[in-house]
Amino acid sequence: MKLGVVGLPNVGKSTLFNAITHAGAEAANYPFCTIEPNVGVVAVPDERLDRLARLYNSKKVTPAVVEFVDIAGLVKGASRGEGLGNKFLSHIREVDAIVHVVRCFEDENVTHVESSVDPVRDIETINLELILADAEAVAKRQDRIGGAARGGADKGAAREYAFLERLAAHLGAGEPAGTLPMDEDERALLDDLFLLSAKPVVYCANISERDMGEGEENVPFVQQVKRYASEHGAETIVVCAKTEEELSQMDEADRALFLEEFGLKESGLDKLIRASYSLLGLISYLTAGEKETRAWTIVKGTRAPQAAGKIHSDFEKGFIRAEVVDYETLLECGGLTGAREKGKVRSEGKDYVMKDGDVVLFRFNV
């Protein structure tokens, strides 16, 4: 999973990126301090792996990972080259989803490019730049296939051009690409364009340290973000980027105590990954043994042979069956042998749809 982190300058974007990736992107109180996209790979927190590894005395534990791409702060007019320009928008064309960090705190010591804090205005500024950049990309595609489409001989080009005309009008009205009604064929055409405004979004409301705690969801700025996100089919999480940075430097025991003190059940990173998995319809199945315990990320609804192909293409080609047991059941039985003795291991065929937390042993023959 690859997530692009965007936002206006000085909203806490790079501070949050630093916290969740430990990558050390420069975070300073002026726009455009991130002048190259910073990339960090983060292990997905999953306590199931640790418990399975202890059960099997695994020599290696391999979690699922998320790749974060931190983009320089965008400003009004970025799609036309303002600030650092739309060069930076190109860095998030191929991400799976966008993490949009929104400033939800007042601080006279941290400048705001619009001189005031207004989360909805800030969201709409960024979203408009994404839409305008997409409109330019669509226009370029129209220019490339226009000749073939007008000639009439290439029916595929003609169909695509008709779709692009509808899409261009939709973007021109200030609407994101993802909200255009379309059939499956048109959805495939849209996916090939890698448009920014077609990507799912997680809004990350960045609050002050004094607003942290059990009532953080009720901060007025946060409420504004949540209403906007709900109206536009997006997810919202609440974080304090400064606190996340402090948490990233603590050991596990201190981190747990800190979260408990503030009445928080999980860190911002945990919330962000959980929201992203939900938004993208992702789950993890597990493999476990003495050599390695590992999590594999798949799309919800994936069948057993395709899940096996995540490990190796030969597993999919020569798929025979999957021996499956639920994670909790496996622990209760003390391992695969105990689960087999109690009749808890299921033999599943090619039509089996994988579930989150399945522990699997694939049987194949090539």
φ and ψ at 203, to 5 degrees?
-85, 130
Residue 244 pLDDT class (50, 70, 90 cuts): confident
What does 38-105 look like in DSSP terms, one character per residue?
EEEEEEPP-HHHHHHHHHHT-S-EE--EEEEEEPPPP-TTGGGT-TT-TTTGGGGTT-SEEEEEEE--
CA angle 109, 115, 117 (to 5 degrees): 80
Residue 212, Cβ neighbours under 10 Å: how many?
Answer: 19
Cα distance between residue 32 and residue 307, in whole Å = 41
Average pLDDT over residues 50-76: 85
Average pLDDT over residues 7-11: 84
Burial class (CB within 10 angstroms; exposed 0-12, middle 13-18, buried 19+) of 345: buried
pLDDT tens figures, 182-193: 999 999 999 999
Residue 27, pLDDT above cutoff 70: no
Cα–Cα separations (whole angstroms), residue 23 to 16, 17, 74, 89, 210: 11, 8, 21, 21, 26
Collapsing DSSP to helix, strand or coil, 261 comes out as helix
pTM of structure: 0.83
Cα distance between residue 343 and residue 275, in whole Å = 35
User: Would you state the pLDDT for residue 73?
Assistant: 63
Average pLDDT over residues 78-88: 51
Lowest mean pLDDT among 4-18, 166-180, 331-345: 4-18
User: Would you state the pLDDT for residue 33?
Assistant: 46
Return the DSSP state at 205. E
Lowest mean pLDDT among 38-52, 148-162, 195-209, 293-307: 148-162
Given a contact cutoff of 8 angstroms between Cβ atoms, the answer to whether 66 and 273 are in contact is yes
Cα distance between residue 28 and residue 23, in whole Å = 15
The distance of Cα 291 from the centroid of its chain, to the nearest Å, equals 30
**Residues 6+ positions from 191 with CB-CB distance below 8 Å:** 198
Average pLDDT of every residue of the chain: 86
Residue 107, pLDDT above cutoff 70: yes
Residue 111 pLDDT class (50, 70, 90 cuts): low
